[in-house]
Copies of this chain bind each other. A is one copy, B any other.
Amino acid sequence: MRLFWTPASPFTRKVSVALMETGLWDGVEIVRTTWSLDWGYRTTAFTPGLAEANPVARIPTLVTEAGAALGCSTLACQHVDALSGGRLTPADPWPMWSLYAVADGMLEAQILMRAELLRPAEYRMESFLDKQRDRIRRCLDHIEAHAGELRTGAEGGPPNLAEITVGVACGYQDWRDWLDDFRPGRPKLARWHDAFAERPSMRATAPAETPEA
């Protein structure tokens, strides 16, 4: 398998954590991508091979052993889950997918804010940033209300894809100084994240800025 990767993308981190938690990471060829800082509002030069594999030209893109390029992080996670024999999803997966979609909606809001902040200042809209902040707040409140579904890891086995995505969303919230601390008013999520962030897969994928070239 081949993964088009950067250390800054939370969508990519989600796939990386899934690969590590299932023991598949070491067999994956990692293609480090670079992104010019105007990626959010201009067609920029792509890392060689990316647009050829996936015309959306987005990361993560996971190319399977059989050569199918999965240019959507949810599908890439599902492929990893299938390879692991379903270890990242419970028998009735739909409540988990419901929580996953909320956490994934947080990732999207975070990246939309990042792209907005990279625009030249005169084209930035504060109301757009507020819309995404409002969305993130609603999602975090929902996750706090459902924190009982987040397992601590004491039961053994890998986390499920909702837990991975909640962990990554909280981690991104911590990493970017223009995002709020998710902990005030959300004690259950805060406690859960303290433990989850210590998993080797999470420590090994701590976010860092993407190289521009």
Contact = CB atoms under 8 A, between A and B. Distances in A.
B138 A57 contact: yes
Interface string A32-75: 00000000111100000001001111100000101011111011
Nearest to A99: B68
Interface residue tally of chain A, by bracket? 35 or more
A139 interface: yes
A68 B142 CA distance: 13
Copies per complex of this chain: 2
A42 B142 contact: no
A42 B127 contact: yes
Nearest to A96: B68
A112 B79 CA distance: 27
A127 to B, nearest CB: 4
A117 interface: no
Interface string A99-139: 01110110011000000000100111101101100110011
16 contacts: A40-B128, A43-B134, A43-B135, A54-B101, A54-B102, A55-B105, A56-B102, A56-B109, A56-B135, A69-B101, A70-B101, A74-B74, A75-B100, A119-B125, A122-B122, A123-B123
* 9 residue pairs, one from A and one from B, having the closest CB atoms: A56-B105, A55-B138, A68-B94, A68-B98, A55-B142, A72-B101, A41-B128, A71-B101, A42-B127
